[in-house]
Amino acid sequence: MDQVSQTSIEARLRNLVAAATRTLNHLGILGYSGHISARLGGDARGEYVIQTFDQSRAEVTPGDLVVVGGDGNLLRGRKGAKPPDEVYIHTEILGARQDVNAVFHFHPQVATLFTMVDGVDLVPVDNHGIRWASGIPVHPVPAKIADQEMGRDLAETLGPHFAALMRAHGAVVVAESVETLMIDAIHFVENAESMYKASMLGSVTPLSQADMAEIAGKMNRKAHAAKLWDYYTGIAVKAGALPGEWL
């Protein structure tokens, strides 16, 4: 692949990650220490774009993002820039899952509550929750994922699934693209909040496998994600939280 195409792949991915970061932060989902990573394509498939450790997620720009290698070490970035401490969440999952091109780690309070109560598992309850039909495993380690081995253990807990909860800590959501990842993250939070609220009304009826198969048969994931990407980034642009020229 020539240098120009590789450069344009990286430029586009930087725009997408920065836009998703600003949008999820604007929606109150990402928070001060959430991070999104994306696999660079082309000749740099083993390299990943991610936010820095300390930059405000409300102010991140495409040029502020760093590129790390499979071991989590910084390959490219501004002087003094440092990847997040938990970069190994991303590198180990992206290394283990070739079907995944984007990973989001965040600390959703309501979803994390489900790791604190015995016998109450987070399961799909609303229609977009079908993304997690195969299950949402809970990683038992509550500490920060601070090295490759801890990252590998988390990737093992995640297995072939599309989200995992991390006990008393947060969650990880994975997808095939940055756009679908952002929409999955919004639906993940909605599903957890629906289940939490429904449980206050009475006993919750999760979606059955048959329900989920029926919903999936009538859903076009790509078209749905594209529509909601435009909707949510549009809200962020209108609010002044996201420069429209990145889209």
Question: What is the footprint of Zn ion within residues 169-188 (CB under 5 A)?
Answer: 170
Question: What is the footprint of Zn ion within residues 46-105 (CB under 5 A)?
Answer: none
Residue 157 CB, shortest distance to Zn ion, in Å, is: 14
* CB burial readout 142-157, b (16+ within 10 A) else e: eeebeebebbbbbbeb
Beta carbons within 10 angstroms of residue 36's beta carbon: 28
Which lies closer to Zn ion via its Cβ, residue 83 or residue 170?
170
Helix (H, G, I), strand (E, B) or coil at 173: strand
Which lies closer to Zn ion via its Cβ, residue 16 or residue 89?
89
Residue 34 CB, shortest distance to Zn ion, in Å, is: 8
Which lies closer to Zn ion via its Cβ, residue 62 or residue 84?
84
Stretches 61-69, 116-124, 168-176, 219-227: which one binds Zn ion (CB under 5 A)? 168-176
* Pairwise CA distance, residues 16 & 120, whole Å: 35
Residue 204 CB, shortest distance to Zn ion, in Å, is: 27
Which lies closer to Zn ion via its Cβ, residue 32 or residue 231?
32
Stretches 43-51, 166-174, 209-217, 239-247: which one binds Zn ion (CB under 5 A)? 166-174
Residue 163 CB, shortest distance to Zn ion, in Å, is: 14
Residue 233 CB, shortest distance to Zn ion, in Å, is: 24
Strand partners, 174: 103
* CB burial readout 191-218, b (16+ within 10 A) else e: bbbbbbeeeeeeeeeebeeeebeebeee
Question: What is the footprint of Zn ion within residues 101-160 (CB under 5 A)?
Answer: none
Instruction: Report whether 170 contacts 104 (CB < 8 A).
Output: no
Helix (H, G, I), strand (E, B) or coil at 170: strand
Stretches 1-9, 55-63, 163-171, 196-204: which one binds Zn ion (CB under 5 A)? 163-171
Sheet holding 102-106, edge to edge: 74-76, 66-68, 48-50, 35-39, 102-106, 170-175, 163-166, 138-139
Residue 85 CB, shortest distance to Zn ion, in Å, is: 8
Strand partners, 172: 105, 164
Binding site for Zn ion (CB under 5 A): 170
